[in-house]
Amino acid sequence: MNIFRFLLFPFAIIYMFLTSLRNVFFSLGIFKERKYDVPVLGIGNLSTGGTGKSVAINYFIAHFKSRFTVNVLSRGYGRTSKGFQIGEVESTANQLGDEPLMFLKQYPEIRVGVSNSRRIGMKNLLELPLLDKPPVYLWDDCFQHRWVKPSCMLLLTSFDKPFTKDYILPVGNLRELSEGISRADAIIVTKCPKDITQAQKNAFKERIQLKRHQSLFFSKIRYAEYIVNSERRMSLGILEKISFVVVTGIADPKQLLDFLKSKFLNYEHLKYGDHHIFSDRDIENIKVKSNGRMVLTTQKDYMRLYQKFNSDLLFYLPIKMEILDGQHEALNALVEEKLGIN
């Protein structure tokens, strides 16, 4: 914890009191949660970002899309549009936000809606005509949106930055006290090292202190063996032969950089803040730094870059979430049971 954040400790006490009081009001029924008669999976976290929610949403889109009409609802962080928006073929990151646009580009057969209010967003999605497959709804980053209640709630926490070692805002990055995990049906530990041991898993489980109704899963990021853009796909091996620039605007680029370092690749890293809106000056800086070299970015950042960068030298490295220990079937079964669709 840096000194500046420590000085914010009095504000953290106030924030903790207000968020705790709000949760008490919901628990006592003074504030009413809205439930729905359709299967709704919520995915969220206790911290402000960097736990891999978008990768988890992708995991469940892939799991459900062959049997259901998948409807994703997100706040659409970083968008400049107002009110409820439904994703279309020509939608941009300014209209939807980078993550919702990413879901839509990767899976054009799904529905993606964005709204600052989950209730308004669900009202609009539920009014859309039914398609040939039954609907399922995925809520992105909804753990603190307690005015609505999903059928199943998954909480994500990263292995290297778990909520158990964090502090409440603004001293740390927690949106609420860690006691909030009791609302989750399962916890997924994300971004685990590939050589994680059973002893490390046991220690993590002990720190979390699961409730009787909860399950714990461990996962890792799996990087593709290729890079892509809107025009072509190339083997990852091409990067071994060149010098290139890496551009990131995500909360925690460490795993990506560690992966690239493990390949002994020669690159220069340009780091921007999470959900960074790239200005014309930023784009010009990237062009100057790259100087004709390939630019590699994340899939989420690609959504904010490709319409401004306009270069066939801009690529992204696809990723997906892999559940460890062969527990993917157990996770899928748990979720489907909670959703009432098994």
What pLDDT, on the 0 to 100 scale, is given for residue 223? 96
Statement: residue 307 has pLDDT above 90: no
Among 50-54, 217-221, 305-309, the least confident range: 305-309
Number of residues written out for the chain = 342
Reported in sequence order, the residue ranges of 46-134 that DSSP labels E, i.e. its strands, are: 69-74, 85-86, 111-114
Statement: residue 1 has pLDDT above 60: no
Q: What are phi and psi of 241, to 5 degrees?
A: -105, -5
Task: Please check whether residue 295 is in contact with residue 270, taking contact to mean a CB–CB distance below 8 angstroms.
Answer: no
**Per-domain residue ranges for the chain?**
3-68+133-221+323-339, 225-317
Handedness of CA 37, 123, 90, 82 (dihedral sign): negative
Task: Categorize the per-residue pLDDT at 324 as very low, low, confident or very high, splitting at 50, 70 and 90.
Answer: very high
CATH code: domain 225-317 is 3.40.50
pLDDT digit string, tens, across residues 61-117: 999 999 999 999 999 998 999 999 999 989 999 999 999 999 999 999 999 999 999
Task: Please check whether residue 315 is in contact with residue 234, taking contact to mean a CB–CB distance below 8 angstroms.
Answer: yes
Q: Which two tokens stand for residue 284?
A: 């010009």
- Within 10 angstroms of residue 6's Cβ, the number of other Cβ atoms is 11
What pLDDT, on the 0 to 100 scale, is given for residue 309? 83
What pLDDT, on the 0 to 100 scale, is given for residue 2? 66
pLDDT digit string, tens, across residues 125-160: 999 999 999 999 999 999 999 999 999 999 999 999
- Name the DSSP letter for residue 145: -
What pLDDT, on the 0 to 100 scale, is given for residue 30? 97
Task: Please check whether residue 111 is in contact with residue 15, taking contact to mean a CB–CB distance below 8 angstroms.
Answer: no
Statement: residue 235 has pLDDT above 90: yes
Statement: residue 342 has pLDDT above 80: no
pLDDT digit string, tens, across residues 157-211: 999 999 999 999 999 999 999 999 999 999 999 999 989 999 999 999 999 999 9
Task: Categorize the per-residue pLDDT at 6 as very low, low, confident or very high, splitting at 50, 70 and 90.
Answer: confident
SS3 36: coil
Task: Categorize the per-residue pLDDT at 333 as very low, low, confident or very high, splitting at 50, 70 and 90.
Answer: very high
Task: Categorize the per-residue pLDDT at 3 as very low, low, confident or very high, splitting at 50, 70 and 90.
Answer: confident
Task: Please check whether residue 102 is in contact with residue 109, taking contact to mean a CB–CB distance below 8 angstroms.
Answer: no
CA distance 337 to 211: 18
Question: Using alpha carbons only, what angle is made at residue 218 by residues 212 and 163, rounded to the nearest 5 degrees?
Answer: 70
Q: What is the mean pLDDT of the chain?
A: 94
Task: Please check whether residue 323 is in contact with residue 219, taking contact to mean a CB–CB distance below 8 angstroms.
Answer: yes
Task: Please check whether residue 294 is in contact with residue 194, taking contact to mean a CB–CB distance below 8 angstroms.
Answer: no
Q: Domain 3-68+133-221+323-339: which topology?
A: Rossmann fold (3.40.50)
Q: What is the phi-psi region of residue 340: left when phi exceeds 0, alpha when psi lies from -120 to 50, beta otherwise? A: left
pLDDT digit string, tens, across residues 239-276: 999 999 999 999 889 999 999 999 999 999 999 998 89
What pLDDT, on the 0 to 100 scale, is given for residue 32? 96
- Residues in contact with 81: Cβ distance below 8 Å, sequence separation at least 6, in sequence order: 94, 95, 96, 114
Q: Fold match between 3-68+133-221+323-339 and 225-317?
A: yes
